[in-house]
Structure 1
């Protein structure tokens, strides 16, 4: 029995998605609830699983194609065991010159393993897939591989006269390959939000530095007992989240957002933690941080990090947030100016811990120092508040007892 493979029902804020990866091809057997295709939206990657044991009968939307919420993207045959044959590409049925140009259809039926989108592009351009080195999973030839092959052929086919007219350039011997890859929906959405933030907010950044020695000594003293009791390692992010929470309570404007001409003050602290993934930057939100202990925060951050790397973050995981923390230090950044995460009015940037000579009570000491950066929307936050907020975080990290005592 054939059933339709449909795209998931998208949230109201998501208009459409893109077929990212077909994990199963026509005629390939799969088990019930096995992942068969990923649908990428501008916020998350949604998974579609097999409705039963059977095979993929036909793919209607290839990798890179746009699909709407609930749209049919393929057909599934229940109970089959892989005997089904891949559906014939539509391009052959629609191409009136198929009989006079057999090389096109033959080139797509060789030994190379092609994605549906790559097969279609190869046929349309009379390209032999066996001449292309695949970069996809298990050596699969992707649409981008075919396009790169086509572009390379066009470049080499330019007239000699045109080549002679170009200025002579000395380049190193060897292959100088290029690969053009479409921007993912998630990365395109991130790009748009970041540009909008710079264009629509009066964004400034203020800096300070914090001596991380007290926190590092505290971690060293209690790391074993903390991990034994809570089953999670004690990291730096939980200290920063708790310090930021206390500072946000003292400076409500930093915990606010702008909605049109309204300023919205939040009576809670939901802190977004920026996580870098292969598909782009995502910001899952740790909610009600004021009510969480250090162990709870660490567990939540680890959970979100794992889900982000596996592409399993949901819309609900990234919705809301009143303040954001981003840590460029894990990549070696010494100082930066983070960009706001609209509609929030501020974002805290952590950086690399680096030992530097510092003047302490008239003496030079080598201390582990970190630069802190607070980018803020000057429409909502005055410079005085921003500086005092950052100083409050600095003081709490340099004397962690302040967090416990609320001083």
Structure 2
């Protein structure tokens, strides 16, 4: 008998919750087949069958809180074959088939068809079990009263339906998932433990859009990935972070930790909630590498396949509410980071150009929320202005000027 154990949880995760058992006791399982899903406050962990056999015992039901290496259940190895013979249904087939093949004349078969009866429904009283007209009539007479008495039953629940249609005032209470509880905890922590402030600017997206439209096909053909706006904002952010190191720093007690690398967290929406996978050393990545990594993270997030290593760390975060239509927002910090960049939807607006002419341009509001304990207003505003200048002149991103 093999044991099913909770995976070893990271140091930052004290316990987890049994989310879903994909098998029931007595079900046959195959080695490496997913038996149970464990939910932590960051990711979903899949526990697979250690051997071929039968799930013989479940010790921790759905909703139970478990710790590292805790016993979840047991699999009886090699017992799958014992389950298979438990299907003696074919033994009843000969009896049914013999009844179905009971002799009947064409007239009797017509009566049976009109009464919606099969030969197995009628007991033949004739020679060798032959079905007679009287047998069909008797069976029909027995069955006839049933629909009459059964008919009123479905009518009883009918008065309930109008309440649902009219709009009931029902309430449904469901437990908060670990991820949602953790998100709530961290957002509240950010509001209570930081001196958070937000500054705004707006970006003319036309130069970036023109460059993308010109080179997107060639880019995709060469790198096998689409050219989006996020990769260019990531590169602009890494350049700006290296110029303003306090934005890339964090507070640890009475110390400030400065980093010479840029681990950029990209906020990704999933069915379970908001997750922030991290691009490690993004300053060394090319645009194609960034786009491919973001696409891979998005797919893993939707499938619930993100690992703890994908989400840990991060020195700066970028979130794009524009994909949902947000025009302007104040993003909340992702502790212990000291800043977060918010992108928004692109909208055409009348703007005044350098020659004082009014032109229609695709504009995006960008926002930088920052911890005022470590970042001064001048640094935050200048950092955001640098992002604006780099995006409005994409060549500067490539030349780092």
Unaligned 5+ residue runs, structure 1?
86-155, 157-169
Q: CA deviation at 1:173?
A: 1.7
Partner of 1:369: 363
Q: Give 3-state SS (helix, strand or coil) of 2:80's partner.
A: coil
Q: 1:161-182, CA deviations, whole angstroms, 9 ceiling, x for partnerless residues?
A: xxxxxxxxx9972444432211
Partner of 2:264: 271
**Residue 316 (structure 1) shift:** 1.1
How many Å separate the matches in 2 of 1:321 and 1:38? 26
In structure 2, how many angstroms separate the alpha carbons of the residues matched to 1:179 and 1:59?
28
Can you list the C-alpha shifts for 1:15-70, whole angstroms capped at 9, x where unaligned?
11000111111122222111111101112111101112222112111111111111
2:236 alignment partner, one of 232, 243, 249: 243
Q: Distance in 2 between matches of 1:81 and 1:347?
A: 53
In the alignment, which residue of structure 1 is the partner of 2:60? 61
Among 373, 378, 392, the residue aligned to 1:384 = 378
What's the counterpart of residue 294 of structure 1? 287
Local SS of the residue matching 1:371: strand
Q: Which residue does the alignment assign to 1:79?
A: 78
Cα deviation code 1:209-231 (max 9, x no counterpart): 00111111111101111001000
Match of 2:23 in 1: 24
Question: What does residue 303 of structure 1 align with?
Answer: 296
- 2:334 maps to 1:335: no
Range that drifts further, 73-82 or 333-342: 73-82
5 Å matches for 1:3-402? Answer: 3-81=2-80, 173-360=166-353, 361-402=355-396
Q: State TM-score, norm by structure 1.
A: 0.77
- 8 Å CA contact 1:26–1:59 kept in 2: the answer is yes
**Alpha carbons 1:282, 1:308 under 8 Å: kept:** yes
Question: Would you say the 8 A contact 2:2–2:51 is kept in 1?
Answer: no
Relative distance call for 1:44 and 1:217 in structure 2 (3 A) is same
- Tell me the SS of whatever aligns to 2:41: coil
Q: In 2, are the aligned partners of 1:328 and 1:350 still within 8 Å (CA)?
A: yes
Kindly report the root-mean-square deviation, in angstroms, between the aligned alpha carbons of the 2 structures.
1.8
**d(CA) in 1 for partners of 2:45, 2:82:** 28
Distance 1:296 1:202 in 2: 35
Could you tell me how far apart the structure 2 residues matched to 1:76 and 1:319 are?
A: 33
Q: 1:329·1:350 contact (CA, 8 Å) conserved in 2?
A: yes
CA distance in 2, matches of 1:391, 1:358: 18
Greater per-residue helix proportion: 2
> 1-side partners of 2:62 and 2:81: how far apart?
21
With over 3 angstroms needed to count, the CA separation of the structure-2 counterparts of 1:189 and 1:395, relative to structure 1, is same
Offset at residue 84 of structure 1 (A): 5.4
Q: TM-score, normalised by structure 2?
A: 0.78
Which is greater in Rg?
A: 2
- Aligned 8 A contact 1:350 1:373 in 2: yes
